[in-house]
Structure 1
Amino acid sequence: MAEGPYTMKQKCLPTYVVIDASYSMTPYQDTLNQTLARLHRKLAGSPRVSEFALMSIIAFSSSAQVVIEMTDMEKIPVMPDVVCNGKTDYRAAFDLVRSRIDVDVPALNAQGKAVLRPAMFFLTDGQPTEPGWEAAFRELVDPAWKRHPHVITYGFGSVQSEVLSKVATKAAFYAEPGTRNDEALGQAINSLLNSLVASSRSEEMQIPTVAEGYRTIPVEYMD
């Protein structure tokens, strides 16, 4: 039987790591950058994973910025530093991810890749400070938009579990009481990495079901 035109395409999972870099994270800025550097090293040292889980890193505070554009992390020589300051504007993060998906997915298709539905890992330590974030999230995950991402959320610090449950579609994790922000950040990245390793092996998105140091909370918006 003849193979179809897409059989030989290399699958890829566009992955967005969206990290809270607001003022409340200032005491943990060094830890945040060290954690991102570790994420980079792990992926760059695992070509099978980094070729499958192409990644973009976005930091948000009063606005949102692309730290690393969508790429194979093996191609990044060094991870840029993130500076923490400003408010916690979820809306800015969701709007930027949506706009980047509309740039990144066509670009990956043009490279001849079989592009899976994107995944967004959202890490935050605080409550949203600006209005409009709920509408922005609904637009991001609107089923009518073919490219809407899977969303997995990790919360720690002062963020409330009720908010986390609203900004996830597949899984939401809330740090165990007493967990320091730096510990929680590292544990979230470990869970993220485990998910991407499993996804690369199966060539399909594998949603984390547990995260060390976190408890699972119900997801309000389940797709």
Structure 2
Amino acid sequence: MTAVKSKCLPTYLVIDTSLSMESHQDLLNDTVEHVFTVIGDNPRVSEFAHLSVVTFSTAPHVVLEMSDIEHVTEIPVLECSGSTNYGPLFSLLRQRIDQDVEQLNAGGRRAVLRPAVFILTDGEPMDQNWTGPLAALVDRGWRRYPHIISYGFGDANEAVLGQIATRMAFLAVNVEREKEAIVSMMTSLLKTLVESAGADEFRIPTEVPGYRTVPVEIIE
């Protein structure tokens, strides 16, 4: 008799890798590596949360497809360049969510939970037509619409952070402490996944050190 696998939370770590993030490139890579190490060292979390890493600048890139962290042999290396475009990112996320959820369901999971998207950005969108792709991504008529948690620092726009989030949005309170903001965001991600794995359901982060919450336009 084949054992039924546990629940699974498809998790997307989405990182702004536009040119303005170049000075933080090494830190981004170090903190992403830390995320992989911590999850990989916690079998309960790695079984519960499968992870995909997506970067976005002028165009979005899936630098790690949806994976069981225990089976990842090479951690993606992030490189920063280009502008900050949101529309192509949201279109890609909708496409990937459909594909990834199908694959996880086919893998015999007891349940595939609603996907969770964690977005880190230091700026505003440069493209003008991103609200349409966002609306398609968070459309309640699409049964796989994700939870979106946004984190902004530097020149990030509070109103935009609230618009792209569906559950929680956070803005760093000290614009001069950008490195601390990156580390705190990654720590928040890890804490959320650990708590969610322990509860066997998605637990929404409500406080992040160094950030304040901002109003979310779309609330489930």
Q: TM-score range by the shorter chain?
A: over 0.9
- Per-residue CA deviation, residues 130-163 of structure 1 (Å, 9 max, x unaligned), is 1211111111010000000000010001011111
CA contact (8 A) 2:10 2:115 kept: yes
Task: Give the unaligned 5+ runs of structure 1.
Answer: 1-6
1:36 counterpart = 2:36: no
Does 1:129 pair with 2:123?
no
By how many angstroms is 1:111 displaced? 0.5
Cα offset, 1:179, TM superposition: 4.2
Q: Work out the percentage of aligned pairs sharing the same amino acid.
A: 47
SS at 1:100's partner residue? helix
Per-residue deviation, 1:207? 0.3
Match of 1:156 in 2: 153
Q: Is the 8 A contact 1:18 1:93 kept in 2?
A: no
With the length of structure 1 as denominator, give the TM-score of the two structures. Answer: 0.94
Change (3 A) 1:9 1:72: closer
Question: Partners of 1:149 and 1:178 in 2: how far apart?
Answer: 29
2:167 aligned to which of 167, 170, 183: 170
Matching of residues 70-85 of structure 1 within 5 Å: 70-85=66-81
Rounded Cα–Cα distance in structure 1 between residues aligned with 2:66 and 2:165: 21
1:103 alignment partner in structure 2: 99
The corresponding residue for 1:56 is: 52
Question: Any idea what SS the aligned residue of 2:12 has?
Answer: strand
Deviations 1:152-185 (A, max 9, x none): 0100010111110101010000001244222111
Match of 1:16 among 12, 17, 41: 12
Query: Contact 1:169/1:221 (CA < 8 Å) preserved in 2?
Result: yes
Q: For this pair of structures, how many residues does the alignment match?
A: 217
Root mean square deviation, CA, Å: 1.2
Deviations 1:22-51 (A, max 9, x none): 000011111111111111111111111011
Q: Distance in 2 between matches of 1:178 and 1:100?
A: 33
The yes-or-no answer on 1:210 pairing with 2:219 is: no
In structure 1, the residue matched to 2:177 is 180
Provide runs of 4+ in structure 1 moved above 4 Å: none
1:125 and 1:155 in contact (8 A); partners too: yes
Note the residue ranges of structure 2 that are not aligned, 5 or more in a row: none
- What do residues 79-114 of structure 1 show as CA deviations (whole Å, max 9, x unaligned)? 121110001011121111110001100101101111
| Structure 1 range deviating more: 178-187 or 27-36 | 178-187
